Amino acid sequence: MASALSAHAQSAANAAADWPNKPIRWVVPFPPGGAMDAIARTLGERAGKALGQPFVIENRPGAGGNIGAELVAKSPADGYTLMITSIGMATNKPLYGKLSYDPVKDFAPVSLLAVVPNVLVVNASQSKLRSVDELIAAARQSPGKITYGSAGNGTSIHLAGEVFSSMTQLDLVHVPYKGSSPALTDLLGGQIDLMFDSVTSARPHLQSGKLRALAVTTAKRSAALPQVPTLAEAGVPDYEVSPWFAAFVPAGTPRPVLHKLQAALVSALKQPEVQARFDAIGAEAVGSSPDELAAHLARESTRWTQLITQRGIRPD
């Protein structure tokens, strides 16, 4: 047995020494153009230069990220396929009930990459609301009347609203859309009252004065919107929803290869060019060890499973 273990360790070491010797496929389980896609492309370019092989971005959108996740789960565990994903890794199992993959058993965590805060916004020209306290007072005065849009059931934008409603015991009306863009269009057009939108898509409209920010959802203020208070500061103690992005590879990927990949990504996160690009989309670099990401996923899975079950949330 000792001989077999030694041979296996030597084989893994040899694989790491030779890796990578061909392009690396980075699966993005959502369409191009969003924060997730931008993070993958930015980091892939820098990490690819460091490793001597290009990262080839492959967008595989659909089913809340499940199509891309299934593809990666069933790919060879050789370090040549990885996936960037987000909160869906913790929410899709309780949302969909039955998946064709296991978010824990079928993947090996690599690193947390970034956090992109959500921001509670209203139409600046049509809404009288100027603070979270005013929103809470208005919602209590008119239960079931105030509407908030989202990118769809179970998205971080929706869950941010569900946590807010639950913690404040307010009766808000959720209006799901097929993506953030149509929801934002209706908010700008006055068809819905508010939205917990991503900083990435909301900031241009905040800068133009079309939207007004009431609070951000993260535990600390966003570097992209430093003047905007957190929801905890604005009157909802202990509120925190931090939309995160992370890298995973198929389970069974040799540990030396995984650690080599993790080191390249974390190094890229520290580069000034990457940080400048992240600043432009409102993302905040994180970086972590595989074990830290595994612990984070476990905490997130427990939290969102409880909320989704309690609130009876189902996919669109």
Q: What is the pLDDT along the chain (316 residues), one digit of tens a residue?
A: 555 555 445 555 566 789 999 999 999 998 888 899 999 999 999 999 999 999 999 999 988 899 999 999 999 999 999 999 999 999 999 999 889 999 999 999 999 999 999 999 999 999 999 999 999 999 999 999 999 999 999 999 999 999 999 999 999 999 999 888 899 999 999 999 999 999 999 999 999 999 999 999 999 999 999 999 999 999 999 999 999 999 999 999 999 999 999 999 999 999 999 999 999 999 999 999 999 999 999 999 999 999 999 999 998 7
Each residue's pLDDT tens digit, 100-133: 999 999 999 999 999 999 999 999 999 999 999 9
Q: How many CB atoms lie within 10 A of CB 18?
A: 9
Beta bridge partners of 83: 27, 248
Q: How far apart are CA 31 and CA 37, in angstroms?
A: 7
Q: How many CB atoms lie within 10 A of CB 188?
A: 18
pLDDT of residue 51: 97
pLDDT of residue 8: 46
Read off the amino acid at residue 212. R
Closest CA to 22 of 103, 105, 81: 81
Burial of 300 (0-12, 13-18, 19+ CB in 10 A): middle
Burial of 213 (0-12, 13-18, 19+ CB in 10 A): buried
pLDDT of residue 6: 52
Phi, psi of 118 (to 5 degrees): -90, 155
The residues, ordered by sequence, that sit 6+ positions from 211 with a Cβ below 8 Å of its Cβ are 121, 122, 123, 124, 187, 188, 202, 205
Q: DSSP 3-state assignment of 63? A: helix
pLDDT of residue 17: 83
pLDDT of residue 34: 85
Closest CA to 30 of 73, 4, 62: 62
Closest CA to 53 of 27, 34, 79: 79
